[in-house]
Amino acid sequence: MKTVTVSGLLAKKQAGEKITALTAYDASFAKMFDEQGIDAMLIGDSLGMVLQGEADTLPVTVEDIAYHTRAVRRGTQRAFVLADMPFMSYSTPPYAYRNAATLMAAGASMVKLEGGSWLAETVTGLVQRGVPVCAHLGLTPQSVHVFGGFKVQGREQDKADTLLKEALALQEAGAQLLVLECVPAALGKAVADKLTIPVIGIGAGKDTDGQILVMHDMFGISANYMPKFSKNYLAETGDMRKAVKKYIDDVHAGEFPSAAHSFE
């Protein structure tokens, strides 16, 4: 199959084709996901929780992400590979440039940053220096202590309006993808409709341009809890490869996420 690029992901949005993504942390799972036809894989700072057993993502380091990015890249032939920028690794533009260079050298094709319009200068600077950027809005796990827990964002109209404005600002700054997490389904649709770049949802309803799940959640093996927005595809299929294929098929068909996996 053809290698997935950022322009290919944009073409999918423009054609109305859903984008499928999963987190990945090693070569073996990356190879499996790649062979089943996943479009994109994210080396998420979620590894702090699902691999390291931490209570949140904050202890994850750039070195952690780089290590797992190298592993995923070795197992990947065609899927698009994104890497998370960990907590405080992009607190200033020069610091972001240095840490993004580390992740790109490890094998990422794009880096992901959490935060709103305050990141515009950083996003523009990264893109000018040859580093593609995925923005992340809604529930941004690195801000868990500011939010007071893992809570749905954008339920109030003023906050929804602010989120949409920040999404547009990040797009204007040069972001080429947006991950939108834990927001009402109606807001997920509004953001995807307004932006020209692909919007990948996780707990953002079925009308975003694509979906991403943490692989441990999709397999039902997370150590802590199963989020409302996830689905245990392994329990349904009894086989890891079939689980990945069913997830991909359900996203393409618009059957996942259902209302049961979305927020009002």
The annotated binding site for Mg(2+) is made up of 45, 84, 114
Which tokens go with 102? 């580390």
**What is the dihedral sign for C-alpha 146, 151, 156, 162?**
positive
Please report where in the chains the tokens 């950027």 appear, as a residue.
133
Phi, psi of 159 (to 5 degrees): -75, -35
Given 121, 181, 236, 264, the catalytic residue: 181
| Residue 191: burial class (beta carbons within 10 Å; 0-12, 13-18, 19+) | buried
Does 63 qualify as catalytic in the annotation? Answer: no
| Closest of 14, 23, 4 to residue 211, by C-alpha | 23
Please say whether the beta carbons of 171 and 150 come within 8 A: no
- Residues in binding site: 45-46, 84, 112, 114
Query: Residue positions in the annotated binding site for 3-methyl-2-oxobutanoate?
Result: 45-46, 84, 112
Q: Which residues are identified as catalytic? A: 181
